Structure 1
Amino acid sequence: MIPPLLAGLSLPGADELLDGAVVVTQPLHTRFRGTTVREAMLLHGPAGWAEFSPFPEYDAGESARWLAAAIEAGWHGWPAPVRETVPVNATVPAVRPGDVGRVLESFGAVPAVKVKVAEAGQDVDDDVARVAEVRRLLPEAALRVDANQGWDHATALAALGRLAGYGLEYAEQPVAGIEGLARLREALDRAGIEVRLAADESVRKETDPVAVARAGAADLVVVKVQPLGGVRRALGIVEAAGLDAVVSSALDTSVGIAAGVALAASLPRLPHACGLGTVALFAQDVADPPWVPDAGRLRPGPAPVPVARGALRAGEDRQRWWRDRLRAAWAVLEAARPA
C-alpha cells in the first residue's frame, strides 16, 4: 500500500514555510543534466533545514511531491536509520576520456562509479572510451552506466553488448518507458548479454516502481526522495515494488543529500552503492564542509546548516519566482488533504 503525500504528517501554512526561506544558486564544475547552475530553495522548520528544488520545467502538481519531501524534512524529521553508514558512488558526466581522472579525483576513494552515457552530440564510441578509462583508473570499482533514456532499442542493445565486457553492475534507464525497458531486458536475455537494468526515469511517480516490477522491466529501481514525496513515502513505494533500490540524488545541495542518506540508511536492504555523492559536482556548496563521502561513505544525520546561503543567494527576481512556485505547490497539497 503506497501512502498518500504527507500521510500522518501535518501541512504547515505557506507563509510558515516561506518564513526564512532563501533561494540559492550553485555553479557546477561540469555541465550536468544540460545545466551549469542549480537553483534550490532552502527552508527552515522546527526539525531543521530542508530543500525544495524541483527542476524548472516541473509544474505545480509534480512540484508538490518535492514540497512534501521538504515539509517532512524541516517540520517532522526522518525515520530512525537501520545502518550507520551508506556506500556512495562517484558520478562521471559525459566528459572526454582525458578528463575522467580529474572528475574522479574530486570524489576520492569510492566503491562504485556511475558513468553518464548517451549524451546528445556523442556516440557509442565516445561512451565506450569513457567507460574504458574509468575501468582503467579504477579496476576494482563496481561500474554502472546511466543513459537517462537516451538510446533507442537497437542502439541500447548494441551499446550494452559492447559495454558488458567492462563488468557492468547494471545499466540505468538505457531506453525510455517501462515497456521499452521490458522489451530491452528480453532482448538482452536472448542475446546472452549479462547486464542488469535499473529503472530511473520510469519511476518518477509513486505508481511507477510497482508497474516496473509487474512488467518485469528491471532488476532494481533508482529512487530519489524529493520526486517521491519524502523518505517515509519512498520507503513505502520501495516495499510495494518488491525490488532492490538504489538511492540517488536529484542534483541536490548538501541539505537535500541529507534526506537521500536518511532514506538509504532506512532501507531494509541496500546491496548497491548510492548516487549521493553529487555535491562533488558543484564548484561551491551551501554547506561548509559540504556533504561529500569519506572513503566512499556518508553517515546519516540532520541536514547541515547552509552557512554559505548568503554568498550564493539568487537575485530578487528568482526569489519571487520560487516563492510563487512554492505557493502553487502548497495549494496542490492543501487541496489533496482529507476534508
Structure 2
Amino acid sequence: MLTLPPLDEILATAHVVALPMKVKFRGVELRELMVFSGPAGWAEFSPFLEYSDVESARWLASALEAGWVGYPESVRDWVPVNATLPAVSPAEVPGVLAAFNMGSAGAAQSVKIKVAEAGQSLGEDAARVGAVRHLLPEAKIRIDANGGWDVGQAVKALRMLSVFGLEYAEQPVATIAEMAAVRSALDGSVLIAADESVRKATDPLAVARAGAADLLVVKAAPLGGVRRALEIVAEAGLPAVVSSALDSSVGISAGLALAAALPELPYACGLGTVSLMAADIASPSLVAEAGGMNVREVVADPGLLAQFAAPADRRDWWLGRLGRVYAVLAGAEA
C-alpha cells in the first residue's frame, strides 16, 4: 500500500505547465498538467480540468507511485505503439499521421481513429476512416467513440465502418448495459473494447463480469497506478490495451511501465499522443520510433519546465487542486 509522502514534500518540486497541441484533441488545445520529482523519479498529475477531486485522487495515487515507489519489474524492453488520429477532416489525415512516421519502414502500422465527435456525422466518420485505409492499406485500424453513440447508432455505425476492417471499436456507447447490447447485436463481427467503463467506473471489473467487452483499455493514472492496473487486468481475465490520457512524456512513462509489466501484450498501445503536442517537458520526448518505444526513464528538462510554465493564476489553481485531492486521498488511506 502507498504511504503518502508529506504534502510539503510534493509541493517542493511541483511544476505546472501548459503545453500547446498541434491539433485540437477531445476539445483540448492547451494541455495543462503538473509534474513533480520524488525519490523514485519524475511523476505527472494531470486529471482533466473538469474531473472532480474524488476522481482525481486516483491520478494522484498513480503519480505518487511513480515518484515515491517506482514501477514494477518489466518483462519486455520494447512496446509497440499505435498512431492516434483526432476527429479531423480527410484532407488533414496525411499531415497528422506524418507526425507518427506512418508509411515509413518499421513505423507504427496501427491507427486509433476518433469518431462520434459532437457536431459531426457518421458520414464524416466514414470519410475519415476511409482516408486512413486508403493511405495505409495494410494498417490495423481501431476506432474510439468515447461513448458518443446510443445502441442503435453504434450498431449502425459499426456495421458501416466494419467494411474498412476494424481491429476493434473502443467504448462505442456510454454504459455497461449498452455495451453488452451492442456486443450482442454485432455477434463478434466487431470486437468491443471498454475504456470509460473501466477507468471511470466505481467498479472497474463490472464490464468484464457483464460480458460487455472483448478487451479492456487500461490507463495507469485513472486506475490509480501501474500496480492497480495490473491487478485489474489479471482479475478481469481479458486481453488489455494500454493507453494514455494526453500526457507529457513524464506521464507517458507510466503507461510505458504498465505495458512493459503486463504478462501478455497482444495489441499495440495508445502511448503515442506526445506526437500530437507542439511542445513537451522532456528532451528527447518519449515518442514512438520504428513502431514502438524502448522502455526508459524520463526526466523533465528544467529549461522546458520554465519555457512552458503556466501563468501564476493557473499555477495557483493547480496547487489548490493538489491540496484538495491530497486530502481526499489521505482520507481514503486513513
TM tier, smaller? over 0.9
Match of 1:23 in 2: 16
Corresponding position: 1:237 with 2:235: no
- SS at structure 2 position matched to 1:276: coil
- Could you tell me how far apart the structure 2 residues matched to 1:306 and 1:163 are? 42
Cα deviation code 1:196-229 (max 9, x no counterpart): 0000111124754311111110000111111001
- Could you tell me how far apart the structure 1 residues matched to 2:234 and 2:202 are? 12
1:194 to 182, 189, 214: 189
Match of 2:104 in 1: none
Q: Which amino acid is 2:52 matched to?
A: D
Is the 1:206–1:228 contact (alpha carbons within 8 Å) kept by the matching residues of 2? no
Q: Report the more deviating stretch, 11-20 or 299-308.
A: 299-308
- Could you tell me how far apart the structure 2 residues matched to 1:58 and 1:151 are? 22
- Could you tell me how far apart the structure 2 residues matched to 1:55 and 1:137 are? 32
Match of 1:69 in 2: 62
1:120 to 118, 121, 142: 118
Q: How many residues align?
A: 328
Cα deviation code 1:77-123 (max 9, x no counterpart): 10011011110000011111011000110001212000100111111
Deviation at 1:174, TM superposition (A): 0.6
Deviation at 1:337, TM superposition (A): 2.0
- Could you tell me how far apart the structure 1 residues matched to 2:201 and 2:294 are? 27
Cα deviation code 1:113-156 (max 9, x no counterpart): 00100111111111111111101111111110001111111111
2:259 to 242, 258, 264: 264
Is the 1:60–1:328 contact (alpha carbons within 8 Å) kept by the matching residues of 2? yes
Match of 1:138 in 2: 136
Q: Which amino acid is 2:18 matched to?
A: T
Q: Compute the TM-score of the two structures, normalised by the length of structure 1.
A: 0.95
Q: 1:85 to 1:206 in 2, by over 3 A?
A: farther
- Could you tell me how far apart the structure 1 residues matched to 2:332 and 2:298 are? 28
Match of 1:4 in 2: none
- Could you tell me how far apart the structure 2 residues matched to 1:80 and 1:206 are? 27
Q: Which amino acid is 1:115 matched to?
A: I
Q: Which amino acid is 2:21 matched to?
A: L
Is the 1:20–1:44 contact (alpha carbons within 8 Å) kept by the matching residues of 2? yes
2:313 to 298, 317, 338: 317
Is the 2:108–2:290 contact (alpha carbons within 8 Å) kept by the matching residues of 1? yes
Match of 2:210 in 1: 215
- SS at structure 1 position matched to 2:44: strand
Match of 1:3 in 2: none
Q: Alignment identity in percent?
A: 59
Which stretches of structure 1, 4 residues or more, deviate above 6 A after TM superposition? none
Which runs of 5 or more structure 1 residues have no equivalent in the other structure?
A: 1-6
Q: Which amino acid is 1:70 matched to?
A: A
1:247 to 223, 242, 245: 242
